[in-house]
A and B are shown apart, each in its own frame.
Chain A
Amino acid sequence: MRAALRGRDLIEFERRIRAECESGVPLGAYASSHGVHYVFLGERGAFSLERPHAEDRAASAFSTAFPGFSWDEREMRDAWDVRFADLPDPRPLGSNGGSMPAAVVATGAGLMHMVVGPVHAGIIEPGRFTFSSGGETVVHLDAQLAYSHRGVEQHLVARDPLAAAPYLARVCGSCSASRSLAYAQALEQLAGTAIDFRVELVRLVVAELERIYNHLADLAASAAGAGWGPGFARGMALKERAMRACQRATGHRLLFDAIVPGGVAPQTLLEPGELRRSLQALQSSVERYLESLFGNPSVVARWERAGAVSRKAARAFGAVGPTHRASGGKIDVRAFAPYGAYRRIRTSVASASTGDAFARCAIKRDELRESFRLIGAALANVGDARPKAAATMRVEPGAATGVVEGPRGAEIVAVHVDETGRLSRVHVISASYRNWPLVARAMDGNIVPDFPLVNKSFNLCYACADR
C-alpha cells in the first residue's frame, strides 16, 4: 500500500542510493532547480543518481543511514529548500544573517566547554570549534565552519562556462590546480573534446606539483604539532622551494590558471629540462627531510595513536584521500578511475591502517615519493616541444561531473549548462568538505592540547568547504 503511494521509481532510486552507500564510493550530494543529485565514484569517473524534486520538495534523508551525507543534505535544505523530514542534525549548516547556530555540547557532571574561533591564533582560516571535555579529555567536538562562505556557486550562474575557469581556480588556493582540472574534465565531457596525450602529461606534472607543496606543508605543520621546531622550519623551507618550482613551471606559485578547459595555459612547462633538474635537487633534500622526520622517535611517538579514525568511521563518513587511505581505505581516484595521463602512467596507492596522525603522515610521505616518480615519468615522455595550445571547445547543454585526486582526496566539480550555453548550476564538493566531520570525530578521547597536532595531520582547507 505504502509502496504504491510512494511510487516504484522512488523506491528504486532510494534502493540504489542505499546500495551505493553500502558497497560503492559515495562522493557527495547536491540539489539544483531540477532535483536532487547523489554523486558516486565508478571505475569510469563520477556518476550521479538523480531525481526531480517532489511537488512539495519533500525527500527522504540518506544521512540517517549514511552520516557522510549529513552536511550535504543540510546544505540542500538550507539553500534549495529540499524538505527532509528526518535529518539527524537539524541545525543550519552555516551562519544565518551573521550568527552561527548554537554548538552541540555534551553535558554532565564535571564536563566543561571551551570555544575556539572563529578567529584563530595563527595564519589560519576561520572556523569555530567547541570542545566538551572532562578535564583534558575531549568528550565531544563540534566543528562549525562556513565563515568563508562567499556564495561562490551562485556567483557562477549564467556565466560562460569557458570564461568561468579563472573563478574555479580561486575557490580555494590550496587545491586550485585539482579543481581547475576537475572543472576542465566536466566541460571537456560536455564538449566531447579529447586532450592530446602530451598535454595530459603536462597536466599530471601540474597536479603532482600541487600535491608536493601541500604534503610538504602538512608534514611541516605536523612536525610543529609534535613540538619539533626544526622539522617545521625545514619542511616550510622545502615547501618554499616547491612553490618556486611551481612558479618556474607555470608562472604562478600556487599554480592558478595553469590548467584550463581544453588543455593548459600557454606559459605552462616551457622548460621541462630545467624543471626536471630543480625537482631532482628538491627530491634529494625531501628524502633527507623525510628520513630525519620519521627517524625522530619523539615526533613519531607524538603522532602514534593521536587522533585515530577507525576504518568503520572513515567508511561511514565517506572519508577521501589520505584520511581514507590512512584508515585502511584502498581508493585513490588516480588508480581507481584513472583519467588523463594516469591511464598510462599508473599510480601506486599508499596504504596504512592505524588511522592515527602517524598513518596520515606516513601516507603523505609515501605519496610525496610517488609524486616525484610520476613527474619524472611524465617529464621523460613530454619532450621539449611546447605543449599544444588549448583546444577550441563548444560546450553543449547538459550536465557532467569531473573528479580528480587532489592532495586531500577527491575533488569534484558538477557542472550544469543550460540551453543557451550558460552555466545554470555549478557545485563544488571538496575533499576537505568530506573529511572535516572526521576531524571532530578523531578528537574523541584525545586531550585538548593535542588538537593542533590532530588537526594538522589532516590539514584541511576551509575555503573550498565553505565556498
Chain B
Amino acid sequence: MSNKMKMATKNMTFHYGAFKALDDITLEFRENQVTALIGPSGCGKSTFLRSLNRMNDIIPAARVEGQVLLDGEDVYGPNVDVVEIRKRVGMVFQKPNPFPKTIFNDVAYGLRIKGIKNRGELQARVEASLKAAAIWDEVKDRLNESALSLSGGQQQRLCIARALAIEPEVVLMDEPASALDPIATQKIEELIRELKKSYTIIIVTHNMQQAARISNITAFFYMGRLIEVDKTETIFTKPSLKQTEDYITGRFG
C-alpha cells in the first residue's frame, strides 16, 4: 500500500433521521487502486459510497458526523462547494442513467456545465472520454442518435464516459454491472482495470468474484460497520475474522 492517499474517512457516522446507517467508519483510499466495498444488502456500503461525493445531501434527514477527506481536506467542511467536490469525485450508478439526449450531448453535458463552449474542444474531449470508456468504436458513427437507443451495457459505458469527461480524480461506482449481462459485465470489468491507471476507483459490488477479480483492496461492511479491510487476496484467502470468512464463503448474507 505504497500509493499516495487520495480519500479517507475518519470516524464517519451517518444517520437517516434517527436511524444510524453507518457507525464509525475509518477507511483510506489510495491513488490508482481499486477498492471494493462488499457486504450484504442494507449493510450501508452504498450509503457510504454516496456520502463520499455528498450525493446524500439531497436526502432531507441525512446527517454526517466525522470526516470525509479528499486530499486531506474535509469534504463536509463549512467552506466547501459541494458542486466542486462532485466534479472531482465522479459517480457511476447502479442502473445506467443516460440523459434523454444525443450520445454526444450526454457526454458533453458535464463539460458544458463546466463552461466549455468551444465546439472543437467539446468534440475532442467527448471523443477522448468515449475512447477511455471503451465505447468509441461502437458509437462513433451515431453520436447524434439518442443515448437511449444503446443497449444496457453500452449505456453504462456511456455513463462512465460521461463521468470521465469532466476529469474527476476519484470515480465512485455503485454496483455498475449489476443490471448487465455477463458479457457487458466483463467489458465493464476490463474497463475498470484500465481506468485505475489514471483514477482512484471505489466500487460497491454484490458480486464477490467481481470484487476478487478487479480490486486491490476489499472492505467488508456489515450492519453499518466496517468489519474488515485488507488486500483483496488476503480477504479472499485468509481473512482474519470469522465473520468475513463466513460471508465470503457464502455461509450467510
Q: Do A and B bind each other?
A: no
